[in-house]
Amino acid sequence: MKKFVIGLFVLGLTSPLLAQVPKVEQLSEVVVTAVNYKYLNAIDSEEVAVPVKMLERKAAAYNVEDSDFYQDDFDIYYISFYIPEGRIVAAYNTEGEIIRTIERFQDVKLPSTVRDAVVERFPNWAIVNDVYRVTYNQNKGAMKTYKIKLKNGDKVMRVKVDDSGEFL
């Protein structure tokens, strides 16, 4: 038994000596850039509803060059994205950049600036439903508007508000 324990001890000390020496290789530098960062920066808002943000991120991450219908002959590709709350129609160029979008979402959570502006101007009115629209253009940026339907008893009113709470 004593020889067996000493043998295991010697074997345990010698096995690390026989291990391979790893080669150290220098890898080339990789730079990752977002193709549609301008679109994401233009439409990004902290208080946008989760489904809206999710679909906008999907549109920004979509790669036209990987699609089955991609050909170098076409200048613009129109891709539609749908969820139950809304849709986005995006125009991509051949490099995969978003040129323009049309977005429409129904009954999403309103940002606090819009809610506060509506409540301040129409205190006894209730918000029945809303439509959030975004039009993005690569040169002009994003324009965000809310069409809100208000109700007070039997009276119904529709108002338009931009994302900063200004009535249009």
What pLDDT score was predicted for residue 97? 85
Mean pLDDT of 44-57: 82
Percent of the chain surpassing pLDDT 70: 86
> Which one has a higher pLDDT value, 43 or 122?
122
In the three-class reduction of DSSP (H, G, I as helix; E, B as strand; rest coil), residue 73 is classed as coil
pLDDT reading at 10 higher than 80: no
What pLDDT score was predicted for residue 16? 62
pLDDT tens, position by position, 59-103: 888 877 767 676 666 788 888 899 998 999 989 887 888 889 999
Contact 99, 64 (CB under 8 A): no
pLDDT reading at 11 higher than 90: no
Mean pLDDT of 42-47: 77
Q: Where are the alpha helices (DSSP H) in the chain?
A: 2-14, 37-43, 50-61, 112-121
Mean pLDDT of 12-36: 70
Contact 93, 76 (CB under 8 A): yes
pLDDT reading at 33 higher than 80: no
* DSSP letter (8 states) at residue 138: T
The rounded distance, in Å, linking the Cα atoms of 98 and 89 is 10
What are 100's two structure tokens? 């323009």
pLDDT reading at 42 higher than 90: no
Cα→Cα distances 162→99, 148, 159, Å: 22, 11, 10
What pLDDT score was predicted for residue 55? 86
What pLDDT score was predicted for residue 87? 93
The rounded distance, in Å, linking the Cα atoms of 42 and 130 is 22
